[in-house]
Amino acid sequence: MKYFFSIVFIISAVVGCSSPEVIITSSYIINGNWTARNDYPGANAIEIYGMHENKGRAIDAHSNPSQLQLLDGLNRDSSFYYSANVYFPGETSYLKRKVYFNKDNGFSWFSFKGEKETRAIGNLKPKSWYEFSNLKAHGYHYIVYVDSAGGTLVFPINIANY
């Protein structure tokens, strides 16, 4: 019986500590880490950078590249940068809330250095790399590759490792 409670405690701890899921497609994102309270600086923020491969460093997204390969092989492209505060007053759960790239969500996206404001940024382009940041409070970035069919391959990057 004492082992039963130990197992229940361990399972509860693991499930309780797991982070909400982040889903990124070419047309929307779902981030269960955003909160209805908007309770800390940067809460509900998102930044999206276009990325380009370094010369001589082609990355095969389908070969499950390592974090190091992605960080060494890609650079931010300042011609595609958008940020936003994804906040929906009155909503209590963001766990399934889709934020669309190609239509108005009720907030503004800001381009590089806040010079341009828009209500939609368009779908992510096929055969392109992107970096998503500020989706969690704990230093995770997501590198995303959009394949030729519009499907996405998402690679979580723990920036604390570098």
Here the tokens at position 26 are 């070419």
Dist CA 30 CA 101 (whole Å): 11
| Model pLDDT, residue 128 | 97
Alpha-carbon separation of residue 28 from 97, 120, 122, 152 (angstroms): 10, 11, 10, 11
First-last CA distance in the chain: 44
| Model pLDDT, residue 9 | 37
Per-residue pLDDT of the chain (162 residues; tens, 9 = 90+): 444 333 333 333 334 445 678 999 999 999 888 876 666 666 788 999 999 999 888 899 999 999 999 999 999 998 899 999 887 767 767 777 899 999 998 889 999 766 788 999 999 999 999 999 988 866 789 999 999 999 999 999 988 766
What strands lie across the sheet with 117-118, from one edge to the other?
A: 117-118, 109-111, 74-85, 45-53, 128-133, 140-146, 152-158
Q: Which of 41, 73, 58 is nearest to 143 (CA)?
A: 73
Return the bridge partners of 121, or none: none
pTM of the model: 0.82
| Model pLDDT, residue 118 | 92
| Model pLDDT, residue 75 | 96
| Model pLDDT, residue 138 | 67
Q: What phi-psi label fits residue 44: left (phi over 0), alpha (psi between -120 and 50 degrees) or beta? A: left
| Model pLDDT, residue 158 | 87
Alpha-carbon separation of residue 140 from 1, 12, 27, 48, 120 (angstroms): 39, 24, 21, 13, 24
Dist CA 140 CA 28 (whole Å): 19
| Model pLDDT, residue 62 | 94
Cβ proximity of 112 and 128 under 8 Å = no
Residues counted in the chain: 162
